[in-house]
């Protein structure tokens, strides 16, 4: 991450999430990765943002609501999610810990759309969203498939506000 370090008066906000304690498809490094991102942000002038560990849907929604309010008037807003992510119905979804994805359509109720996360950041001048997601969908067995429907991580840039960067560290499954 390279932000100008001389602008200490800038308002910089971040929401960092490490989700790894899934009942299906537990992950090993998301919390560690989120802490490394926090350290990198501090090195470029952010106040140390806390890392939200293993949030359920309600905790994630509350954190996003607060983050959206904090982003209003901010110069830079950074969102980082490490955990399970899936593509469903043409959108990228963050999977909260404890999500009950019994069938693929339940993603709309149990997951959080990445586009909605980016929209929560609209109040900032510059927005960066990192989607560091394991996309080997562990729920496909419940859905009667052996593989995720995802072909590759994509986002519709035409709907993103100017000044938005979305970065994926995710492979298709």
pLDDT, tens digit (0-9, with 9 covering 90-100), for 23-82: 887 899 999 999 999 999 999 999 988 999 999 999 999 999 999 999 999 999 999 999
* pLDDT value at residue 148: 47
Reported confidence tier of residue 147, pLDDT bands at 50, 70, 90: very low
Mean pLDDT of the chain: 83
Mean pLDDT of 122-147: 74
CB atoms within 10 A of CB 51: 21
Predicted TM-score of the model (pTM): 0.83
Is a pLDDT exceeding 70 seen at residue 133?
A: yes
**Which residue stretches of the chain are H helix?**
30-43, 57-71, 107-110, 114-120
Reported confidence tier of residue 17, pLDDT bands at 50, 70, 90: very high
Which segment of 13-17, 40-44, 115-119, 153-157 scores lowest on mean pLDDT? 153-157
Q: Where do we find the tokens 């996309």?
A: 135
Mean pLDDT of 10-30: 92
* pLDDT value at residue 146: 45
* pLDDT value at residue 85: 87
Closest CA to 105 of 93, 91, 94, 89: 89
More reliable by pLDDT, 87 or 144: 87
Mean pLDDT of 74-97: 91
Question: Rounded to an integer, what distance in angstroms lies between the CA atom of residue 114 and that of residue 154?
Answer: 10
């Amino acid at each position: 991450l390279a932000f100008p370090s001389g602008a200490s008066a800038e308002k910089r906000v971040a929401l960092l999430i490490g989700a790894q304690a899934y009942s299906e498809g537990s992950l090993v490094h998301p919390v560690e990765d989120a802490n490394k991102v926090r350290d990198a942000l501090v090195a470029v002038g952010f106040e140390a943002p806390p890392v939200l560990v293993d949030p359920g849907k309600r905790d994630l929604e509350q954190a996003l609501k607060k983050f959206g309010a904090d982003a209003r008037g901010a110069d830079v807003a950074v969102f980082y999610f490490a955990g399970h992510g899936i593509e469903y119905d043409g959108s990228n979804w963050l999977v909260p810990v404890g999500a009950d994805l019994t069938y693929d359509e339940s993603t709309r109720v149990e997951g959080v759309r990445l586009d909605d996360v980016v929209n929560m950041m609209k109040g900032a001048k510059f927005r960066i969203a990192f989607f560091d997601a394991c996309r080997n969908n562990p729920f496909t067995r419940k859905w009667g498939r052996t593989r995720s429907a995802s072909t590759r991580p994509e986002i519709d840039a035409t709907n993103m506000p100017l000044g938005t960067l979305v970065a994926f560290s995710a492979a298709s499954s």
